[in-house]
Amino acid sequence: MSFLTTVSFQDLQRLRAIVRETHMKYYPTDFCTDRECDKLIDSFGAKVVETMLRRSIEEGYSD
């Protein structure tokens, strides 16, 4: 079971935007779907995602 079901929608949108900007910027645009972002986020693990969210909120990143 994925931990993404425990993340709020706003945080999930924020994570998807971060993944698109940093980890998928060289992929073709038709590959950068929400599903592909979710698979990548899920592979990071809960602890890494928690750190990404904390940093994005501290830096004032908005979705």
DSSP line for 8-42? -HHHHHHHHHHHHHHTSTTS-GGG--HHHHHHHHH
pLDDT for the residue numbered 57? 85
pLDDT of residue 1: 62
pLDDT given for residue 37 in this prediction: 94
Ordered by start, the domain boundaries in the chain are 30-63
Mean pLDDT for each 10-residue chunk of the chain (63 residues)? 84 92 91 93 88 86 60
Residue 60: strand, helix, or coil: coil
